[in-house]
Amino acid sequence: MALGYVLSLFIYPGISPILLGLFLIPANIGQGIGFSSSFFSFIFSAFPQNSHAPSTSTLYLIRSIGSLFDVGVLSAIIQSTLRKRVFTELSDFTDLNENQIREVLLYMIYQRIFRRLY
C-alpha cells in the first residue's frame, strides 16, 4: 500500500492511462488486503462463532450503505460548489450575466448529447 501511495505522487494531468493504471494497482491491492483483514479480524474477535454469518452480512450491508451515502454526499458537495463557482468565475472573464452563461452551458451540453445520439 505504501508503494502505491508513493507512486500516486507521480501522477500528473497528462499521464498516460496505462501508466496511471499501473500506478494505482499497488495502492488498490494494499487497500483491499488491509480492509479485508481488519474486517475479518473484527468479526472473529468481536462475535461468537454461531453469529459470524449474520454479523458478516450486517457489516457488509452497513459498509455498502455507508459507501453509497458517502458518494451521494460528496457528489452533492461537488455539484453545489461547482454550481456556485462556475458562474462567478465565468462572469469575471466575460460580459455575460448568469442567465446568459447558463444558456451557453445548456446549449453546449445539448449539442454534446445530440452528437452522441446521431
Question: Using H for helix, E for strand and C for coil, what is the string for 90-113?
Answer: HHHHCCCCHHHHHHHHHHHHHHHH
pLDDT tens readout for residues 67-103: 788 888 889 998 888 888 887 777 777 788 878 888 8
Reported as type and span, the H/E element at residue 38 is helix 17-46
Q: State how far the Cα of 86 lies from the Cα of 102, in Å rounded to an integer.
A: 10
Does residue 76 sit within a domain? no
> Which amino acid makes up residue 115?
R
Confidence (pLDDT) at 118: 59
Model-level pTM?
0.47
Q: Could you tell me if residue 81 is inside a domain?
A: no
Is 95 within the bounds of a domain? no
| Domain total in the chain | 1
Q: 3-state SS string over 10-29?
A: CCCCCCCHHHHHHHHHHHHH
Could you give the CA distance from residue 116 to residue 9 in angstroms, rounded to a whole number? 35
Structural domain of 35? 1-46
- Residue 23 within any structural domain of the chain: yes
Angle in degrees, CA 110, 115, 91, rounded to 5: 35
Q: In the numeric block, which cell numbers belong to residue 37?
A: 483483514
pLDDT of residue 22: 83
Residue 67 lies in a domain: no
Domain assignment present for residue 15? The answer is yes
